[in-house]
Amino acid sequence: MPQPTPYLVPHSREDIAILHEDEHLLLVRKPDLLLSIPGRHPLNRDCLISRLRQRYPTASIVHRLDLDTSGIMVVPLHRECHAHLSRQFQERRVEKTYHAVVWGDVAGDRGEVDLPIAPDWSDRPRQRICRERGKAALTRYEVLERHGDRTRLLLRPVTGRSHQLRIHLREIGHPILGCDLYAHRSALAMAERLLLHATELTFTHPATGERFSGASPAPF
């Protein structure tokens, strides 16, 4: 039986922007269409961490952004920093904000989506809402701008499930524009890329013990 053709991701030509650098960590801006870590296929090895290690050999990954999502990431530069940050992510002490442009006019100025998420094993890599076996997932949102057929939202995910923001917004009838996994045809056609960008991270700096923030404005 012939093997299925592997999915080869597009190779982003955009550079990774260094937003902050110290002896412990980096804050970087990941372009859209760049993997956070290498893919399984040899032709999908180009990624954020492999590029960074050409200049910062000790850099490691402590969290990820989807291929299609751009925005700010924190990258530890040594083992102790990695362990400290990893614990903060696990304990939900890292504050994350995103900007998204979604289909339609969102009712109300703010709200939240509290729906459990599980892998859709019959249609990977998609996720699905599953109240019986899904893991708890909570997203808070705030309307920033309305433009008739679309709305700009500020998103604050409390949990960090795979595809959480995309599937939660789809579930309330407002898929993210340009989303090839969860948007209907009209919303997909309204943008050339996924209009989702990680705009801010706030965490406790492992060296100083003080809260530390970085920002990356949305490019759309």
- Tell me the sheet residues that pair with 29: 17, 72
Decide if 153 contacts 142 (C-beta within 8 A). Answer: yes
Give pLDDT, residue 124: 85
Give pLDDT, residue 39: 80
Residue 17: other Cβ atoms inside 10 A: 12
**Residues 6 or more apart whose Cβ sits within 8 Å of residue 214:** 19, 20, 27, 72, 74, 200, 201
Give pLDDT, residue 181: 96
Q: What span, in angstroms and rounded, lies between the C-alpha atoms of 169 and 183?
A: 9
Q: What's the CA dihedral at 83, 201, 58, 7 to 10 degrees? A: 100
pTM score of the predicted model: 0.93
Reported as type and span, the H/E element at residue 189 is helix 185-189
Decide if 60 contacts 48 (C-beta within 8 A). Answer: no
Which is catalytic among the residues 22, 32, 46, 66?
A: 66
Give pLDDT, residue 27: 98
Looking at the chain, the number of H-run helices and the number of E-run strands are 4, 11
Per run of 10 residues, the mean pLDDT along the chain (length 220 residues) is 64 92 98 91 85 98 96 98 98 98 97 97 92 96 97 97 97 98 98 98 98 98
66 is catalytic: yes
Give pLDDT, residue 119: 95
Task: Give the CATH superfamily of 98-196.
Answer: Pseudouridine synthase (3.30.2350.10)
Domain(s) labelled CATH 3.30.2350.10 in the chain stretch across: 17-94, 98-196
Reported as type and span, the H/E element at residue 167 is helix 164-171
Q: Which CATH architecture has domain 17-94?
A: 2-Layer Sandwich (3.30)
